Amino acid sequence: MDLQHRWLSTAVDVLKISGDLPKKWWGVIEGRYSEKQRHYHTLRHLEEMFQHFDKYFKKLNQPELVVLAIFFHDIIYDPKANDNEEESAEVFSQFSKEAGNLEADKTDAVMKWILQTKSHSVKENSDKDLQFFLDMDMAVLGRPSEDYKKYADQIREEYIHIPDPEYKKRRSAVLRGFCQRQRIFATDEFHEMYHDIAIQNLKTEILSLEK
């Protein structure tokens, strides 16, 4: 299922949003994720997350909320800003207001999940849907090594405004933080499938950055 079809199906068939609003918001989503400063955080990133979503769909309690979180979690992405998650959550809030039929607790849940992508850290007893959503976002770390290298290069392109020495220092610190976690992935499913290769990818990139 392509992204536009998935979005319209969720908005119209599941959320029961009528009129031109679903198409209007697809235009917003497509436009935002196609911005020129994006190299990794693009529509392709959403497609990859939905591949995992389809695989684990039956394990989700509220899959429609996970769909919304995926579509909106990076809708605002300015590599020079430090409030992208907060701004993305606000855009989702605006969508929810315009839709008019999404319960307040569901809107709050999706906004909370989007904000959690700032740290990608959750407690063991956190909402299972949140855990799967964050793992879908982090699954890139468990790509085969050559594909991971492409991801790392795309992230560098997004932060091209930062001088190389400073970028290497910051990026290495972030990656080391992930390596020091007992678990990178919240769910057992993602942990078992991707943890070991993710650690290897992170260590390989750290070595490259610190040459």
Closest CA to 179 of 156, 193, 200: 200
Q: What's the predicted TM-score (pTM) here? A: 0.97
What's the pLDDT at 123? 74
Query: What pLDDT, in 10s, does the model give residues 162-182?
Result: 999 999 999 999 999 999 999
Give the mean pLDDT of the chain.
96
Helix residue spans in 59-181 (DSSP H): 63-72, 84-99, 104-116, 128-138, 145-158, 164-179
31-68 pLDDT tens trace: 999 999 999 999 999 999 999 999 999 999 999 999 99
pLDDT of 121 reads 85
Region 180-189: what's the mean pLDDT? 94
The pLDDT confidence band at residue 126, using thresholds 50, 70 and 90, is confident
